[in-house]
Structure 1
Amino acid sequence: MFSSITEQGQWDLSQPLLWGYFFTDNDPNKLELAMPKIQAMGYSVVGIFQAEKEEENEPDLFYLHVEKPEIHNSKSLDKRNDEFYIFAYQNGLDSYDGMDVGPVAQ
């Protein structure tokens, strides 16, 4: 991930980028209960979104999207991911689903 960002010259990795993180659960209420805890850690809540279903009979799946401007390298991002896997487990969420990254809005 970091090498492709560097190779493509997309963003300056020495400056904060907007990192988005995603948690999932079949019960949106569980995600809502986790929101104040993640906000207390300095993250902004983007929202809770329902995933599109591939099959009509699939159970509902909801995403909690949070974000924060941060500077990461592969080691610090790995640590953050580990923290969020633990956060999801401790809060009874189905999963921590990963992250995305983009420029901080000016």
Structure 2
Amino acid sequence: MKAHHFLYPLIAAVSLNVAVQGNAVAQTEQRIQLSQIETMFVNMRAKTPWNVDGPLLWGYFFFDPSEEKLKGAAKELAANYRIVGITEVPGRQTFRLHIEKVEVHSPASLHARNAELYEVAEKHKLASYDGMDVGPVPK
């Protein structure tokens, strides 16, 4: 496993929270907004030497206390992403699934990718899809 240094983790951590409304349980979440992604792209253009309109290495992260649930999501995602690994988060009773893919994104396409990954988190009943980070494609 190669270690990658990513300059731009996205600002927002996104958790799927369970809210009780009467007798019904509803999942609520704070999703990464398109405006946040647009700001991220502006900053990358201004502060990195990267071709932001070309291929970059995008990492995506999911969290859950159940390693087995993350393994189920990883199995589904392995068809389209490289599975970096599932690791225990030190000091917390939770695990992190890290996947990555070399992709070309615009703010709109990254926003659409996030929507797909939120759906994966919901399908597997994961605690969170936590967003992404980005860096140059390793040589």
Please give the TM-score of this superposition, normalised by the length of structure 1: 0.89
Q: Aligned-pair distance for 1:10?
A: 2.7
Structure 1 stretches of 4+ moved >4 Å: none
Q: How many residues align?
A: 100
Q: How does 1:18-37 map to 2 (within 5 A)?
A: 18-37=57-76
User: Is it true that 1:39 corresponds to 2:78 in the alignment?
Assistant: yes
Q: Residues of 2 paired with 1:98 and 1:50: CA distance?
A: 18
Q: Aligned-pair distance for 1:100?
A: 0.2
**Tell me, which stretches of 5 or more residues in structure 2 are unaligned?**
1-39
> Percent identity among equivalent residues?
45
Q: How does 1:1-106 map to 2 (within 5 A)?
A: 1-40=40-79, 42-53=80-91, 60-106=93-139
Please give the TM-score of this superposition, normalised by the length of structure 2: 0.69
**Higher share of residues assigned helix:** 1
Q: Residues of 2 paired with 1:81 and 1:96: CA distance?
A: 9
